[in-house]
Amino acid sequence: MRILYIDNRRYGHNADLHIDFISFLHKNKYDRIIPYGDNLKRHFKDAISINRRGVSKQLNKIIAKYKPHAILTYNCNGSSYEVGLDNISLYKWVSDALSKVDIPKFHITTDYCRSGFRQDQAKWFEYVGCSAGIFRHKESLKYPLGVDKFWLPFSVDAGLYKKYGQKDVAKKNKKVGFIGTAHDTGKLYINRMMAIDFLKKEKMLKTTSIVDKKKFKREMLFGPKYVRFITGNMFGLTCGGTCNYFTAKYLQIPAAYSMLVCADTNGLEMFPKDTYILFDRNNLEEMREKIMFHINNTGETREKIDCLNKYVLEKHNHDKRARDLRRIIKRFV
């Protein structure tokens, strides 16, 4: 298929989850991506820059030239209303023009309505004329929407994780690794914050270097360095936050061949049972006991890690997710 991809977001440390996935579709010839947006040249050589003086006219010319089968838009955040990164604000420059185009349209959103449901955000899908809303978190499906909606979980670059993952459990640090956001987000990640503080006190935690002590900001790692950090520890910690999201780390930790230590969240039920350590912030001592058990029983630990690792790399890689997205679009094209 030919897909007109419209996205003017500048991507940073999460690029591998979002724009790199779209780039994967193009590079591996699942679909021909026609990229339209000022910040896409870093990811696509033939990206079309925006003509702000005539977006509607430009969009019609692009459609006439490339004859796309579908239009795809994407928001890697979708919840930051205060800084204009919600769906309405992010696509304000092209929404009117899109609403007049009679081609199947699909919008993928991460962190949709994280701080609670907003009717105007749901109405935006209808105004633009989306055939379907596609959400990266299963929890987002609970909100009412005037168009069809689908869950498209995150995925991993299987080749990257296979290349840099350490499969020898004996060579890993016998600690719980954590990389990401926590204490600088208010109560959003209260579960992981409490687990981090507990594990730190128990001298069982491994984190990246602190770059800002006041804001508890830690060093960001990318690509191979990110995988090496996760895989260097026998365990990896994450949670879905108070918004109950199935975040990317639920997949990245087992993909890196480390044991997942996590809070319960919507979507976790798809994993094989007993292949991860579930923690409750009200009973963190139990988490410590489970971790110690697996440190002392490496044979059983290896079996569980191996089971979930194979499941993630087979069922949640970019190739599988590309096919999932294509099946959704094909319903309407």
For the segment 1-30, the average pLDDT, to the nearest whole number, is: 90
* Residues forming a β-bridge with 6: 36, 73
Q: For residue 79, name the pLDDT band (cuts at 50, 70, 90).
A: confident
pLDDT band of 216, cuts 50, 70, 90: low
Percent of the chain with pLDDT over 90: 83
**Tell me, what's the pLDDT at 213?**
60
Burial of 274 (0-12, 13-18, 19+ CB in 10 A): exposed
Q: Rounded to two decimals, what is the model's pTM?
A: 0.94
Averaged pLDDT of the chain: 93
Instruction: Looking at the structure, tell me whether residues 102 and 17 fall in a common domain.
Output: yes
* Cβ proximity of 308 and 260 under 8 Å: yes
286: pLDDT strictly greater than 60: yes
Are 322 and 279 in a shared domain? no
The CATH number that applies at residue 19 is 3.40.50.2000
Q: Which residue has the higher pLDDT, 43 or 220?
A: 43
Task: Identify any residues that bridge with 3 across adjacent strands, giving them in sequence order.
Answer: 33, 70
Distance CA 235, CA 257 (A): 9
Predicted confidence band at 186 (pLDDT cuts at 50, 70, 90)? Answer: confident
Q: Which residues constitute the domain of residue 40?
A: 2-155+317-330
Task: Tell whether 33 and 127 lie within a shared domain.
Answer: yes
* Same structural domain, 142 and 188: no
| CA distance readout (Å), 104 to 129, 182, 333 | 8, 39, 6
* Same domain for 203 and 127: no
Residue 89 Cα to chain centre, angstroms: 21
Q: What is the pLDDT of residues 250-267, one digit of tens each?
A: 999 999 999 999 999 999
pLDDT digits (tens, 9 = 90+) for 101-140: 999 999 999 999 888 899 999 999 999 999 999 999 999 9
Of 60-64, 149-153, 187-191, 231-235, give the lowest mean pLDDT range: 187-191
25 and 173 together in one domain: no
333, amino acid identity: V
* Residues 200 and 162 reside in one and the same domain: yes
Indicate whether 36 and 147 sit together in one domain: yes
The pLDDT, as a whole number, for residue 83 is 76
Whether residues 195 and 49 fall in one domain: no
323 and 268 co-located in one domain: no
> Which is more confident, 35 or 218?
35
The total number of residues shown for the chain amounts to: 333
Of 80, 93, 111, 112, nearest in space to 6 by CA: 93
Residue 105 sits in the same domain as residue 162: no
- In the prediction, which pLDDT does 28 show? 85
231 vs 220, residue with greater confidence: 231
pLDDT of 210 higher than 70: no
Residue 222: per-residue pLDDT: 87
Percentage helix, strand, coil for the chain under 3-state DSSP, each rounded to 5: 40, 15, 40
**pLDDT value at position 91?**
96
Confidence of residue 231 (pLDDT cuts 50, 70, 90): very high
Q: Which residues are paired to 233 by β-bridges?
A: 173
Q: How many domains does the chain have?
A: 2
For residue 30, pLDDT over 90 is answered with: no
Lowest-confidence region among 23-37, 185-199, 205-219: 205-219
Q: Are residues 149 and 19 in the same domain?
A: yes
Q: What percent of the chain has pLDDT over 70?
A: 97
Return the number of other C-beta atoms located less than 10 Å from residue 329's C-beta. Answer: 19
Angle between helices 284-296 and 298-315 (to 10 degrees): 100
Higher pLDDT, 195 or 185: 195
**What is the model's pLDDT at position 215?**
53
